């Protein structure tokens, strides 16, 4: 039982897809499956000809089943796949069809995405919203293996209340919106941290810094950069509320990471983050999925109103925190994700089938 897992080499920050890929590989290995993870260089999904040719050679390295040895199953991250449809088609024609693990749709590469998905041996999505996109856009069936969540201690919180937004500083993640909303709440006591790399889009990161300074919030909002280990644990432990209002989210693993610590989350309604918020089989509480469907100029006021309600209403804060604490016992772990993927790929060892 062997899996070759091709992941994009150009995504080095802690994206949800990167975390999922890493934890999936670890989970498959813990099930006794031989996993080879290959980081494929290239500016995926817009890699050059030489990078695509290298990918094609990797896809051609199919290892047929031999006595005492299972055939290799190849899985390709969707970021690579939608930029290399021709290589996936050629591999399928040669009998080396690869599975695609799609974390999010790529509307700017719809033709490549369509061709790659059609050529795939199978499609696994890490969210229901991504699987719905595959079905509704291309008429193809996709399986779903939702992300797992690591258990974590309950966050201690802070006084005054501390808000956290964990995401790379990117326009889609809308940190500018969060800053503009918080600027309207300077009459209330709070602090905030924006946790995520500022190196992917330096121009946007500069805009966020400028907005913080222009509103005189340097003493209230901290840009931490990407954090790992104890530094990240400490930030989570300080938090009382998590905010993820991305314009598009296939799932939003930060939501379940927050709930694992008993931290309630505000997300944008209509995105896959709502699925993450409801993953623990609890109702999505009013106000936690904020409807931001007006003009962009209205969004800071809408988000500010939701945060103001939470800050000013002790009963509401207690209700949200109680719900987040209850969610901790219902979040699936990464073992269930790995087991689901292994079963779909047909590489789950017999003893685990029987378990």
Which tens digit of pLDDT belongs to each residue from 111-143?
A: 999 999 999 999 999 999 999 999 999 999 999
Local structure of 187: helix, strand or coil: coil
Beta pairing partners, 7: 39
Integer Cα distance of 166 and 255 in angstroms: 9
pTM of the model: 0.86
Quick check: 276 pLDDT over 90?
A: no
Local structure of 1: helix, strand or coil: coil
Integer Cα distance of 17 and 77 in angstroms: 9
pLDDT at 282: 56
Range 305-323 burial, b when 16+ CB lie within 10 A, else e: ebbbebbeeeebbebbbeb
Q: 70: exposed, middle or buried (C-beta count within 10 Å: 0-12, 13-18, 19+)?
A: middle
pLDDT at 66: 42
Percent of the chain at pLDDT exceeding 90: 76
Local structure of 154: helix, strand or coil: coil
Quick check: 319 pLDDT over 50?
A: yes
Q: Domain limits of the chain?
A: 2-148+333-354, 162-330
pLDDT at 286: 74
Bond into 124 cis (ω within 30): no
Integer Cα distance of 217 and 277 in angstroms: 29
pLDDT at 65: 47
Lowest-pLDDT choice from 2-6, 96-100, 239-243, 248-252: 248-252
- Go through the chain and tell me how many residues it has: 355
Q: Name the token pair of 150.
A: 């690591």
Per-residue pLDDT band at 24 (split at 50, 70, 90): very high
Per-residue pLDDT band at 68 (split at 50, 70, 90): very low
Q: Count of CB atoms within 10 A of residue 258's CB? A: 30
pLDDT at 62: 57
Integer Cα distance of 149 and 230 in angstroms: 18
Integer Cα distance of 135 and 128 in angstroms: 10
User: Residue 141 CA to chain centroid, in angstroms?
Assistant: 21
Q: Name the token pair of 325.
A: 């604490």
Question: Mean pLDDT over residues 236-240, rounded?
Answer: 98
Most confident residue range from 36-40, 105-109, 287-291: 36-40
pLDDT at 352: 59
Q: How far is CA 258 from CA 163, 245, 327, in A?
A: 11, 14, 10
CATH number of 2-148+333-354: 3.40.50.2000
Q: Count of CB atoms within 10 A of residue 271's CB? A: 22
CATH number of 162-330: 3.40.50.2000
Q: Name the token pair of 328.
A: 């901790």
Q: Fold match between 2-148+333-354 and 162-330?
A: yes
Question: Mean pLDDT over residues 291-307, rounded?
Answer: 81
Mean of all residue pLDDT scores within the chain: 90
Integer Cα distance of 30 and 27 in angstroms: 5
Q: Give the containing element (helix H, strand E) for 164.
A: strand 162-166
User: Residue 75 CA to chain centroid, in angstroms?
Assistant: 18
Integer Cα distance of 285 and 312 in angstroms: 17
pLDDT at 232: 96
pLDDT digits (tens, 9 = 90+) for 222-231: 999 999 999 9
pLDDT at 67: 42
DSSP conformational letter for 45:
T
Local structure of 197: helix, strand or coil: coil
Percent of the chain at pLDDT exceeding 70: 92
Lowest-pLDDT choice from 6-10, 131-135, 257-261, 275-279: 275-279
Q: Strands 2-8, 72-77: parallel, antiparallel or unpaired by DSSP?
A: parallel
Per-residue pLDDT band at 298 (split at 50, 70, 90): confident
């Amino acid at each position: 039982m062997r899996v070759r897992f091709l992941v994009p080499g150009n995504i080095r920050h802690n994206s949800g897809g990167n975390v999922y890929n890493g934890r999936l590989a670890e989970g498959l290995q813990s099930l006794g499956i031989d996993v080879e993870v290959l980081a494929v260089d290239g500016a995926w999904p817009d890699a050059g000809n030489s990078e695509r040719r290298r990918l094609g050679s990797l896809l051609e390295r199919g290892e047929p089943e031999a006595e005492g040895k299972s055939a290799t199953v190849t899985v390709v991250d969707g970021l690579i796949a939608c930029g290399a449809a021709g290589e996936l088609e050629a591999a399928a024609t040669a009998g080396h069809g690869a599975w695609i693990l799609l974390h999010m749709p790529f509307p700017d590469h719809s033709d490549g995405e369509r061709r790659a998905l059609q050529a795939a041996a199978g499609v696994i999505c890490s969210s229901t919203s991504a699987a719905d996109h595959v079905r509704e856009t291309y008429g193809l069936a996709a399986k779903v293996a939702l992300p797992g969540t690591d258990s974590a201690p309950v966050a201690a919180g802070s006084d005054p209340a501390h808000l956290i937004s964990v995401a790379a500083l990117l326009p889609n993640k809308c940190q500018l919106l969060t800053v503009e909303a918080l600027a309207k709440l300077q009459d209330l006591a709070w602090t905030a941290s924006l946790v995520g790399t500022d190196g992917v889009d330096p121009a946007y990161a500069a805009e966020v810094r400028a907005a913080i300074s222009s509103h005189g919030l340097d003493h209230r909002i901290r840009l931490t950069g990407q954090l790992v280990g104890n530094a990240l644990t400490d930030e989570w432990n300080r938090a009382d509320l998590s905010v993820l209002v991305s314009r598009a989210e296939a799932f939003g693993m930060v939501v379940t990471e927050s709930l694992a610590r008993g931290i309630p989350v505000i997300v944008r309604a209509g995105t896959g983050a709502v699925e993450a918020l409801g993953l623990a089989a609890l109702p999505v509480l009013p106000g936690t999925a904020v409807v931001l469907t007006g003009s962009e100029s209205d969004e800071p006021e809408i988000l500010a109103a939701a945060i103001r309600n939470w800050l000013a209403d002790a009963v509401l804060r207690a209700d949200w925190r109680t719900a987040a604490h209850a969610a901790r016992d219902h979040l699936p772990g990464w073992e269930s994700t790995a087991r689901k993927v292994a079963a779909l790929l047909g590489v789950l060892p017999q003893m685990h089938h029987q378990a």
